[in-house]
Amino acid sequence: MERGRALTGAGAGTMGIFQFTWSAAGRSMDLVTAFVAMLLVVWLIERHRRRPGEGAADAVAVAVTALWCLLVSATGTGSVLSTLGEVARNLAWLMVVLALFARDRRDETVRPVRPVLAALALVELFQIALVVLTQRYAGFPEAVVMIGQMSDLFHLLSTTGALVLVHNLYAGSVAGQRGAVRWSCLALALIWGYDLNYYTIAYLARGVPAELVTLRALAQMVAMVMIGLAARKGSSLRLSPSRTVAFQSLVLLIIGIYLIVMVGAAQSVAWAGGNTSELVQLGFAFVTTVMIIALVPSARLRRWLNVVLAKHFFQHRYDYRAEWLRFARTIGRADANAQPLHARVVQAVADITDSARGVLLVPGEGGALVLAARWQWPTLDVPAVAIDARAVAFLERSGFIVDLDQVRAGTDHAGEASLIPAWMVDEEAIWVLVPLLHFERLVGLVVLGRPALPRELDWEDFDLLRVVGQQLASFLAEQGAHAALLEASRFDEFNRRIAFVMHDIKNLASQLALLARNAERHADNPAFRSDMLVTLRNAADKLNALIARLSRYGAGTVSAIEPVDASAVAQAVAARCNTALGTVQVFATDVQPCLVLAARDTLDQVISHLVQNALDATEGKLGVFLHTRTDAGHGVIEVVDSGSGMSADFVRNRLFTPFVSTKPGGFGIGAFEARELVNAMHGRLEVESREGLGSRFAIRLPRAPDGAGAHSATPAIPAPATKAAVS
């Protein structure tokens, strides 16, 4: 027995030694922290002197923290002086939070923060009253314990609120400027975050281990280092608190209050005592757990919190930046899983009002609205004619957003009740009609379903929906214009092909007409009959080639490109034209071997167009000259005439414009078609012309590789003495 008592006494002595060691270490750590804080104060004061307006609140808070650390080191953690010093420290750091919120000089940033700071400061000041009560009832241990528990609860409340403010401060700052406030927020989070755990343990264990006191001093010293880093980095701060941040802060505050209420209620049940206390505690814990599981995942609860937050904490219902970004993401989606534009239009409007479904009506034949798209509403029965033309005219004229609840209640003031179709009024799930107006023309009508949390629309809803409707109308109008432009381009493509065909047919018709006139005079001439057969054969070949090329006209495509001797093609064109004219007016002079990459039939067609235009310009008197040569990596075919020439303005603005011609009855398509065909062969058509002197057209095509075989050319046809046809 004595040995047991001796061992017990030795164990108690050992524990006392460790307790004393931790206590001494804690006081030493408080002294070191106070020393570090005083050095930081000196540096902050010097910095404030050099840069007035910066660091004043930080210097005061650090100085108060240094004083508090000295008081804790001298008198211990539970003394009156250390408690009052801690109150002063918390108030000073709350002023730092206020200064950080107000650093961007915007009143709207600070206005919602001041009431919260005032409430937290009031909670801190209650600690003074609790100190007075502790001194007054010092002779009643039970009362002192209860007051201590109440003090711990107030500390939990104030630290939770302070942490919510720090979270809002950091998350509400502009993303690019969070570096300016990062270290300050980390220091404040460390101070109050440690205090939250410190007082939670103090409340539950009715006492604080000496180890936590020592670590608390260490946390204060680390926080002082962070404050120094924050002051050293110093930068301007701009805040942009969003609804999401405010919602998260409100949720955090609710969680903190819930924690305090739960701890207080559980402690009250324990104080009640009795045989049923454990059963009551178990039942209380079960009920509160079921409530949390049922309410926290509830989308309806989140919507209700958002409505309460927007109504009581913000001047405007909507966070316009967030709404516009979501709107842009919804409309601008272009991935493979994106819904059609009409469905995304409905979704963009429904997201604003939290509607779960909707449909889009667009004008049909006769001006009435018909169904165009559904968004998450497959069961809505929409008639073939959803809204008649009379209601469409009213919506175009007024631009009203129709609240069908008001129509059903008979409180509408615009007379829309008589125009809204009965099927919409009878369908209780339909909530709002949002017209989409583009230049005072109705391009669509969004029909929204009732949201999960019904509410009455106000002026802010109407303004936002009206602006969004105009923006969506422009998207729909742009899509309609794009579809119309695509259809017009297809018709233009068809008309262009027909114009090309008519141009070539006109040339063949002229050739055959001249052949018929000459046949009346020279039908008995055997040489003419021979030339006539050649001309007819060439006309038939050109018609067949025209039919083969018909699908390629206007599409910028040609047949297979291969090595072609451009000099042989030029000579063949000259011979054919001279045969048709009956006289030599096309001269293939200075024709050098020129092997190019081209489609022979296409090159023949281009040279023929240019030669025909040159003959028209010379009026059949002077003649046209063909030259071929090589130039670096290109082969060049030149068509030169000495006719009337063209002005620089005509060459620049009108020569290659389709359907513009200076010849009576001309189609104005030859030069344009020639340039398009040359471009399709990866070449370039160059023009030089002077009025009164003539013109030179140069076809530049890529040279064929050395050693490539040329596509065989049609042999030149000798010029007969008789006239047969004109090309």
* Mean per-residue pLDDT, 631-651: 87
Q: How confident is the model at residue 18 (pLDDT cuts 50, 70, 90)?
A: very low
Phi and psi (nearest 5°) for 528? -65, -40
Q: Tokens 């400027």 sit at which residue?
A: 177
Q: How confident is the model at residue 273 (pLDDT cuts 50, 70, 90)?
A: low
Higher pLDDT, 556 or 316: 316
* Mean per-residue pLDDT, 68-87: 85
Q: Which CATH architecture has domain 16-241?
A: Up-down Bundle (1.20)
In angstroms, the CA 302 to CA 308 distance is 10
Higher pLDDT, 285 or 524: 524
Strand partners, 684: 700
pLDDT at residue number 257? 62
DSSP code at position 334: -
pLDDT for 429 beyond 90: yes
Structure tokens at 356: 């779960």
Q: How confident is the model at residue 720 (pLDDT cuts 50, 70, 90)?
A: very low
In the chain, ranges of CATH 3.30.565.10 domains: 512-702
Higher pLDDT, 121 or 167: 121
Residues 6+ apart with CB under 8 A from 279: none
Q: Are strands 684-690 and 634-641 parallel, antiparallel or unpaired?
A: unpaired
Terminal Cα distance for the chain, rounded: 137
Q: Which long-range contacts (CB under 8 A, 24 or more apart) does 317-325 make?
A: 317/458, 317/460, 317/461, 318/352, 318/460, 318/464, 319/242, 319/243, 319/244, 320/464, 321/240, 321/242, 322/242, 322/243, 322/244, 323/352, 323/464
For residue 203, the surrounding DSSP H or E stretch is: helix 179-205
Q: Tokens 């207080």 sit at which residue?
A: 264
Cα-to-chain-centroid distance, residue 14? 68
Task: Note the CATH number of domain 320-457.
Answer: 3.30.450.40
Q: How confident is the model at residue 459 (pLDDT cuts 50, 70, 90)?
A: confident
* Mean per-residue pLDDT, 350-366: 89
pLDDT at residue number 254? 62
For residue 448, the surrounding DSSP H or E stretch is: strand 441-449
Higher pLDDT, 30 or 300: 30
SS3 643: coil
In angstroms, the CA 246 to CA 264 distance is 27
Strand partners, 210: none
In angstroms, the CA 622 to CA 265 distance is 115
For residue 598, the surrounding DSSP H or E stretch is: strand 595-598
pLDDT for 713 beyond 50: no
Fold of 512-702: Heat Shock Protein 90 (3.30.565)
DSSP code at position 239: B
* Mean per-residue pLDDT, 383-404: 90
DSSP code at position 286: H
In the chain, ranges of CATH 3.30.450.40 domains: 320-457
Alpha carbon distances (Å) from 711 to 97, 561, 563, 627, 703: 86, 10, 6, 19, 14
* Mean per-residue pLDDT, 6-32: 55
CB 89 within 8 A of CB 64: yes
* Mean per-residue pLDDT, 456-471: 88
Phi and psi (nearest 5°) for 376? 60, 30
Higher pLDDT, 645 or 468: 468
- Kindly tell me the burial class for residue 188, based on how many C-beta atoms sit within 10 Å of its own C-beta (0-12, 13-18, 19 or more): buried
Q: How confident is the model at residue 698 (pLDDT cuts 50, 70, 90)?
A: very high
Where are the strands (E) in 330-378, listed by range? 358-363, 369-375
pLDDT at residue number 554? 46
Cα angle, residue 127 at apex, residues 123 and 132 outer, rounded to 5°: 145
pLDDT for 439 beyond 70: yes
pLDDT for 111 beyond 60: yes
In the chain, ranges of CATH 1.20.1070.10 domains: 16-241
Higher pLDDT, 277 or 82: 82
Higher pLDDT, 711 or 6: 711
Q: Tokens 């919507």 sit at which residue?
A: 303
Q: Which long-range contacts (CB under 8 A, 24 or more apart) does 540-545 make?
A: 542/504, 542/508, 543/508, 545/601, 545/605
pLDDT at residue number 8? 39
Structure tokens at 459: 């002026």
Q: Which of 657, 466, 699, 449 is nearest to 573 (CA)?
A: 699
**Mean pLDDT for the chain?**
76
For residue 90, the surrounding DSSP H or E stretch is: helix 80-101
pLDDT at residue number 658? 67
Buried b (16+ CB within 10 A) or exposed e, 8-37: eeeeeeeeeeeeeebeebbbebbbbbbebb
